[in-house]
Structure 1
Amino acid sequence: MALAATAGFVPDRPDLGHRAEGLDLADPAFFADSLDPSVPRLLPPAAYRALAFAELEDNAVWTRSWLAIGLGAEIPAADDLLPFTAGHHGVHVQRADDGGLVGRFNKAQHGGCRTVPLQCRTGTKTRCSFTACGYSRDGSALPAGLEGPTPAMHQYLGLRPERLLPVAARVWGPMVRINLDPEAAPPEVPPDGLMALSGETRRAEYATNWKLAAQALAEGERFAQAPESLHLTGRLATGEAATVALHFPNLVLIEARDETCAVMLQPTAPGQTLLRIGLLGPEGKATSGLEASWSAWLAEIATRMAPAVAAQAALARPDADETLPANAAGLWLQRSIAARVQARPATADTQPLYATAQGRGC
Structure 2
Amino acid sequence: MLTHPDTVYIDAGIDFLDPRLYSSCRAPFGLATMLPRRAYTSEVFERLENEKVWTRDWVCIGTSPEIPDPLDLLPYTIGQHAIHVQRLPDGGLQGRFNKAQHGGCRTIPAQCRTGKKTRCSYTSCGFSRDRDVILANALAEMSPQMGQYLGAVPERLLPVKVRTSGPLIFANIDPTLDAEQRPLLPEWTENLVRLEGHWQEHRSNWKLAGATIVDIARSSLAGGGATNHVSAESTFPNLVLVRSRYATLVVVLQPTALDQTLWRLSFFSPPELSRSAHEAACGGLMRLLDQAAGQASSLQEKIELSLASDPSESSRAGWLFNQALIERVTRHHVAYWSAPLMRA
Question: Which residue of the partner structure matches residue 303 of structure 2?
Answer: 315
Q: 1:48 aligns with which of 40, 43, 63?
A: 40
Alignment of 1:1-362 (within 5 A): 15-37=6-28, 38-145=30-137, 151-181=144-174, 183-184=178-179, 185-219=181-215, 234-235=219-220, 237-239=222-224, 240-282=228-270, 284-289=271-276, 290-317=278-305, 319=307, 321-348=309-336
2:215 partner SS: coil
For residues 28-49 of structure 1, give each alpha carbon's deviation from its aligned partner in whole angstroms, at most 9, with x where no partner exists.
1222111211413211111101
Distance in 1, Cα, partners of 2:83 & 2:237: 17
Q: Which segment drifts farther, 44-53 or 167-176? A: 167-176
Show structure 1 runs of 5+ residues with no match. 4-11, 221-231, 351-355, 358-362
Distance 1:42 1:190, change over 3 A: closer
Distance in 2, Cα, partners of 1:65 & 1:349: 22
Distance in 2, Cα, partners of 1:22 & 1:285: 58
TM-score by length of 1: 0.83
TM-score by length of 2: 0.87
- Identity, in percent, stands at 40
Distance 1:338 1:104, change over 3 A: same
Aligned partners of 1:66 and 1:178 also within 8 Å:
yes
Show structure 2 runs of 5+ residues with no match. none
- RMSD (Å) for aligned C-alpha atoms: 2.7
Distance 1:130 1:30, change over 3 A: farther
1:145 partner SS: helix
Count of paired positions: 330
Distance in 2, Cα, partners of 1:190 & 1:323: 31
Aligned partners of 2:5 and 2:337 also within 8 Å:
no
Q: Which amino acid aligns with 1:211?
A: K
Aligned partners of 1:73 and 1:196 also within 8 Å:
no
Distance in 2, Cα, partners of 1:146 & 1:87: 26
Aligned partners of 1:197 and 1:281 also within 8 Å:
yes
1:57 partner SS: helix
CA-CA distance at 1:271 after TM superposition = 0.9
